Amino acid sequence: MATVNPYLIFNGDCEQAFLFYQSVFGGEFPYMGKFKDMPPSDDPNCPPPTGDEANRIMHVSLPIGNGSVLMGSDSTSQSGDVAIGANVSLSINTESRAEADKLFNGLSAGGNVIMPMQNTFWGAYFGMFVDKFGIHWMINFDENPQK
């Protein structure tokens, strides 16, 4: 069964926001990575952020109880600033590639694919889109889930 978690996008203050959320919910970050920690990419459409953007959060997760995980990242000049209110995506973690493909293909029909399903450097099969109703989605299958 797939799980759904909120994914929040910030304009440079993701780390401060998640430290605040941690102070309220408690717990530990299983992962907090910055853009400067990304491995080099051969994709010319994915240049590494430089300057202050290199220190922005690429991804962070904070378990908040009952299997729910609050996740987030910062925007970059390449992705553009996000408008508050339009900075939330629903992130679905699936149990298989087949389930990921089924959900991605079904939910993205008539919408706008931002990143097709593909293998990522963090070991997941992942894609992003905005559905035909304007809802932002992320589909993820962890090849080697954390225990």
Token readout for 57 is 């959060």
Token readout for 120 is 């990522």
Token readout for 48 is 């590494």
Q: What is the mean pLDDT of residues 76-92?
A: 85
Question: Cβ–Cβ contacts within 10 Å for residue 119, how many?
Answer: 12
User: Quick check: pTM over 0.85?
Assistant: no
Task: Report whether pLDDT(2) > 60.
Answer: yes
Which of 24, 113, 119 lies closest to 65 in space, CA to CA? 24
Selected residue with higher pLDDT from 68 and 134: 68
- How far is residue 58's CA from residue 131's CA, in Å, rounded to a whole number? 23
So what's the pLDDT on residue 33? 93
Q: What digits encode the pLDDT tens for the residues 108-142?
A: 999 999 999 999 988 999 999 999 878 899 999 99
- HSE toward the beta carbon, residue 52, CA cutoff 13 A: 7
